[in-house]
Structure 1
Amino acid sequence: MIRQFINGVCMAMADSVPGVSGGTIAFILGFYDKFIGSINDLIYEKGDKRKQAFLFLIKLGVGWVFGMIAAVLVLSSAFESQIYFVSSLFMGFIIASIPLVLKQEKESFIGHYGNVVAAVIGAAVVCLITMLNQSSFMTGIQLDSLSIPLAIYIFIAGMIAISAMFLPGISGSTLLLIFGLYMPVITGIKEFLHLNLSVFPGLCIFGLGVIAGALSVVKGIKICLDRFRSKTMYMILGLMIGSLYAIMMGPTTLDVPKDALSFHNFSFIAFIIGIAIVAGLQFMGKKKEVAFNE
């Protein structure tokens, strides 16, 4: 229970800031297949499979909700005021994670080198999305001032953003920035937590889009993991490599844009902390596995 709660908190904190996906965290911590499989079982299976999936997702979901509330109330402001520290932290997180992914899925990588094309495509997709973010075409959206076209736009954006959050390397928050919805959604959640109900209809529409996106994308991911695992792993590796560029450009996505992450503003301390977090989480996972086997 504690383990899944912590996993959910980590996913939420990654989902809340542009540049890193909750799917990346799930993959790094070793429960990505179970995460996708549980959502698939909850939607499409019956009986014990659905019950087990529900219990797993409830444990994970409680942590995710707690982490997201904490992120909205605390990390959203820290993301702006300490952007270079946060970006350096996630840089360390991703760089330390790539060798672990290669080790965990070595059977999918070794001998399947032709699939490196999928990795190149994955990295290119993330870089392209990040570049589009620099020219976001929607500004001034207010969740408390809805119209029918805006409601449709928010619904579609929610579908696309949650689809990205399920994929390691593509940040749903970055896509929300491109759609001009990142700050409106974060601000809307914060206002709702302070009992401002005027944003509730807009948040509901966004939530319905998220549900629709989840229903439509999970089955496809499950099929890819089961039938085309090597190509999918190479694609995920490319997405993670591409996310390094997304993190580097993160400061340019703020309301008041700052310079991209560089050697001049890079925080070596945060970078080391990011590596240490990955090492610590992996150590915890191994201890749990040993205890389970005993």
Structure 2
Amino acid sequence: MGSADAVPGISGGTVALIAGIYGRLIEAITAITPSRSFDLCKAVLPIGSGSSRHHAKLILREFDAMFVATLLTGIATAVVIVGRVVEYAAARVPVLLFGLFFGLIAASAVILWRELTIDTTGQWLVAIVGFSLAFVLSGSVQLLEEGGLVVVFVAGAIAVSAMILPGISGSLLLIILGQYIPMYDSLNSFLDGIGGVVTGGAFETVIAPGREVFTFLVGGLVGLFTVARLIRGLLKRNREATLAFLVVLVFGALRAPIAELSGTEGVDWTLVTIGEFGVLAFIGTVLVLVLDWYAIDIDFGSL
């Protein structure tokens, strides 16, 4: 799931469906509520008469804590590893990197559209709004990158929410919001800073990137318990219109890799650049289509 969500295209939710853990994941997320989390804190902390080891065990079992902890550890490990690869590629071969992303997004858009049915005028209007929103935001990459911690918080809330939606990649939404490369830069700088502090380096190197990583994680937690529940509520209330909005976001996001690349220093759109971009886009498209052919079965009916 971590590897899938670390690159735009296939979502972590899709991988959860393939692995057969999607239902268990949703049950665990639904069980973890603010009130039950507060009950857990009271049961664990040796304050007053509310502490109870037995009660804490019951709540942790209700949260499916071992499953969630193991899953989060695997996701975090994959995100860190992929982050190093992305940082290297963005600095040295940005044309190839964003060409690959374009292909991954394009193929995902085709696969999702194939599973979608739009029958009414209202659904088409919602789809047009979704496409327009993604297209406009995708062309404002440089502006969004300068949005500060507010944009980072919103990006965390939205991207983490996408983890539980098959077909919608969290990294894709980060690209739309102009936070994909900046957040990986912050994460890698934060980890490097921690390594430096352990070996006697200055603590100041951790503060700036750590602030952004912390803000993103807080946004992710808030999104997991608010945005994710809102989306699931909308799916229950008007499933077709909500799916139409989410799916066309992917089509609108096709502008993002091109806009990101156009703003990269030292990159000019020449015949060679277009050729390299096109080849990697083709490879990305084939990769997703092959996975779709052999493994991926996006079941919107399970949402």
Q: TM-score, normalised by structure 1?
A: 0.69
1:84-233 to structure 2, matched below 5 A, reads: 84-104=95-115, 106=116, 109-112=117-120, 114-136=122-144, 138=146, 154=149, 156-165=150-159, 166-167=161-162, 168=168, 171-175=173-177, 177=179, 182=183, 185-192=186-193, 194-196=195-197, 197-198=203-204, 199=206, 202=211, 203-233=213-243
Q: Which residue of 1 aligns with 2:244?
A: 234
Amino acid aligned to 1:226: K
Unpaired stretches in structure 2, ≥5 consecutive residues = 37-57, 163-167, 198-202
Q: 206-215 or 168-177: which moved more?
A: 168-177
Structure 1 residues 95 and 206: alpha-carbon distance in aligned structure 2, compared to 1, 3 A threshold = closer
* Cα distance in 2 between the residues matched to 1:132 and 1:272: 25
What CA deviation, in whole Å up to 9, does each residue of 1:221-280 have, x standing for no partner?
Answer: 1111222210111111210001111122121344x2634698724434322321232134
Secondary structure in 2 matching 1:63: helix
Tell me whether 1:9 sits opposite 2:8 in the alignment.
no
How many percent of aligned residue pairs carry the same amino acid?
16
Name the aligned partner's letter for residue 171 of structure 1: L
Query: CA contact under 8 A between 2:3 and 2:78: conserved in structure 1?
Result: yes
Give the Å deviation of 1:41.
1.2
Instruction: Determine the C-alpha separation between the residues in 2 that align with 1:161 and 1:185.
Output: 14
Worse-matched range after superposition: 257-266 or 195-204: 257-266
In the aligned structure 2, how far is the partner of 1:35 from the partner of 1:117?
A: 34
1:281 lines up with 2:291 in the alignment? yes
- The corresponding residue for 2:43 is none
Give the one of 72, 75, 83 matched to 2:86. Answer: 75
Distance between the aligned counterparts of 1:210 and 1:70, measured in 2? 20
Q: Distance in 2 between matches of 1:36 and 1:8?
A: 14
What is the count of residue pairs matched by the alignment? Answer: 255
CA shift in 2, pair 1:207/1:280, >3 Å: same
Kept in 2: contact 1:161–1:172 (CA 8 A): yes
The CA distance in 1 between the partners of 2:290 and 2:108, in whole Å, is: 12
Q: Normalising by structure 2, what TM-score?
A: 0.67
- Against the structure 1 CA distance between its residues 229 and 259, is the aligned structure 2 distance closer, same or farther, given a 3 Å change threshold? farther
Letter in 2 for 1:238: V
For residues 183-222 of structure 1, what are the alpha-carbon distances to aligned partners after superposition, in whole Å with 9 as ceiling and x for unaligned? 7623433424524443255243443343233332111111
Q: Distance in 2 between matches of 1:281 and 1:137?
A: 32
1:103 and 1:137 map into 2 onto residues whose CA distance is: 33
